[in-house]
Amino acid sequence: MTAVAEQTGAWLAEFTAQKPAEPWLQELRNAAFQRFAELGFPTTKNEEWRFTNVAPIARTTFRVSAAGFAARFRGAEKIEAGGKCFDAARLAAEPNAFVALNAAFTDRPCVLRVPRGAVVEEPIEITYEIAAAGDRPAAVHPRILIVVEANAQCAIVERYSGEGRYLTNAVTEIVAGEGAVVDHYRVQQESREAYHISTLRATLGRSANFSSHSIALGGALVRNDANATLSEGSDATLNGLYIVNGKQHIDNHTEIDHAKPHGTSHEVYKGILDGQATAVFNGRIIVRKDAQKTDSKQTNKNLVLSDEAVIDTKPELQILADDVRCTHGATIGQLDEEALFYLQSRGIGKGEARSLLTYAFAQDILDRIKVPALKDQLEKALTEKLHEHGK
């Protein structure tokens, strides 16, 4: 058996044993599994996965579980037989093995539509919570597709959490129609033993406005891909905050594809690393030949609290148009000693001073969260997580 076959064999057993709840999905799943089997799990020889070794996932025999979720979507509509929205041709050419694997096990995707012109007041909330598994670790493959039609507006909150060791392999697609305004949040608070792989793909129509905020706190091994493809005059914001300690590993790959002229994009990813944690940021910006007058700004800032934590950060600009403005910058720094001393000189203990400054570093990402309840919740979660660092 080849290495790939060895790794995919256990998945094949799961695949053949399971039938989807909705029979029309079978054809799609077959194509997807075939694609997954062709690709196999990526290795660190693959440039896209250079710093993230998924061998621990590849070596584990999981039990595939249904990706059950709780959803609140007042003002949006569920598309029944939503799987029909998936594109079989695209699947056959899918470059990402995890996306193919996700499609192969897609059972009950969450497919929603926000009708043309609708302004959805309450955020659409989709929550995945993985219960502790039995004999084998569980693998779940959440799949979300949200079509926001022209001039509609909504906020989307995805949440991921769980107990014990398991794999979440999530794929979210968002299609924002012409003039749509979509505010997307992804809160990842997986267990400390969990593997979490996620792919976000947003396609923006003309003049659509899309912003995504990825808050990553949990997981042992985490890889997030967040991609946005822009049309003429569309505006994309990709923000992220990752806080890792202990032996956590997180890899954030983003791709902003300016396919058409007059697009703007803003990207701020901030990381806080402690212990022996490792993090990767790879920010690709593509400006296609047509995409004149593109304005794009990318920033990645990292606060490294220990000597052993490691961050690899890399901007990747592919600019094929000539009349564009693209800026990027990355920083890796420690806590400001002067500021620490200033706080201490006013009676604030060293530990508290450190967490105050660390929290302050993350503050601007939190300030951009427009859903108040979520902001409150995250402020608490952050304080808790930073308290772990202090220990």
From 76-84, 175-183, 322-330, 339-347, span contacting other proteins (CB under 8 A): 339-347
- State how far the Cα of 67 lies from the Cα of 339, in Å rounded to an integer: 46
Please report whether residue 24 would count as binding other proteins according to CB under 8 A: no
Q: What's the CA angle centered on 244, arms 238 and 246, to 5 degrees?
A: 165
The residue among 106 and 300 lying less far from other proteins, judged by its C-beta, is 300
| Residue spans of beta strands (DSSP E) within the chain | 63-64, 70-72, 77-78, 110-114, 124-130, 138-140, 143-148, 153-162, 166-176, 181-189, 195-204, 209-216, 221-230, 235-244, 249-258, 264-273, 278-287, 295-304, 310-319, 325-333
User: How many residues sit close enough to other proteins to count as binding (CB under 8 A)?
Assistant: 23
From 33-41, 98-106, 257-265, 344-352, span contacting other proteins (CB under 8 A): 344-352
From 1-9, 151-159, 269-277, 340-348, span contacting other proteins (CB under 8 A): 340-348
Residue list 221-240, contact with other proteins (CB under 8 A): none
From 90-98, 184-192, 276-284, 356-364, span contacting other proteins (CB under 8 A): 356-364
The residue among 147 and 357 lying less far from other proteins, judged by its C-beta, is 357
Please report whether residue 341 would count as binding other proteins according to CB under 8 A: yes
Please report whether residue 356 would count as binding other proteins according to CB under 8 A: yes
From 150-158, 161-169, 253-261, 355-363, span contacting other proteins (CB under 8 A): 355-363
Exactly one of 23, 134, 347, 372 binds other proteins (CB under 8 A); that residue is 347
The minimum distance between CB 387 and other proteins, in angstroms, equals 15
- State how far the Cα of 291 lies from the Cα of 324, in Å rounded to an integer: 8
Exactly one of 342, 373, 376, 380 binds other proteins (CB under 8 A); that residue is 342
**Residue of 333, 317, 225, 227 whose CA lies nearest to 271:** 333
From 94-102, 115-123, 289-297, 348-356, span contacting other proteins (CB under 8 A): 348-356
| DSSP label at residue 391 | -
Please report whether residue 135 would count as binding other proteins according to CB under 8 A: no
From 73-81, 199-207, 246-254, 354-362, span contacting other proteins (CB under 8 A): 354-362
- State how far the Cα of 71 lies from the Cα of 247, in Å rounded to an integer: 32
| DSSP label at residue 122 | S
Please report whether residue 150 would count as binding other proteins according to CB under 8 A: no
The residue among 28 and 303 lying less far from other proteins, judged by its C-beta, is 303
Are the CB atoms for 231 and 260 separated by under 8 Å? yes
| DSSP label at residue 119 | B
Which tokens in the block code for residue 221?
């091994």
Please report whether residue 130 would count as binding other proteins according to CB under 8 A: no
Helix (H/G/I), strand (E/B), else coil: 323: coil
Please report whether residue 349 would count as binding other proteins according to CB under 8 A: yes
Q: Which residues pair with 188 in a beta bridge?
A: 160, 216
CA atoms within a 13 Å half-sphere pointing along the CA-CB vector of 180: 31
Are the CB atoms for 161 and 189 separated by under 8 Å? yes
**Residue of 154, 156, 159 whose CA lies nearest to 69:** 159
Please report whether residue 353 would count as binding other proteins according to CB under 8 A: yes
DSSP labels for 264-299?
EEEEEEEEEE-TT-EEEEEEEEEE-TT-TT-EEEEE
The residue among 167 and 241 lying less far from other proteins, judged by its C-beta, is 241
Exactly one of 339, 373, 380, 383 binds other proteins (CB under 8 A); that residue is 339
Q: From residue 308 to residue 337, what is the string marking binding to other proteins with x (rule CB under 8 A)?
A: ----------------------------xx
The residue among 318 and 363 lying less far from other proteins, judged by its C-beta, is 363
Are the CB atoms for 162 and 191 separated by under 8 Å? yes
Residue list 358-377, contact with other proteins (CB under 8 A): 359-361, 363-364
Q: Which residues bind other proteins (CB under 8 A)?
A: 336-339, 341-350, 352-353, 356-357, 359-361, 363-364
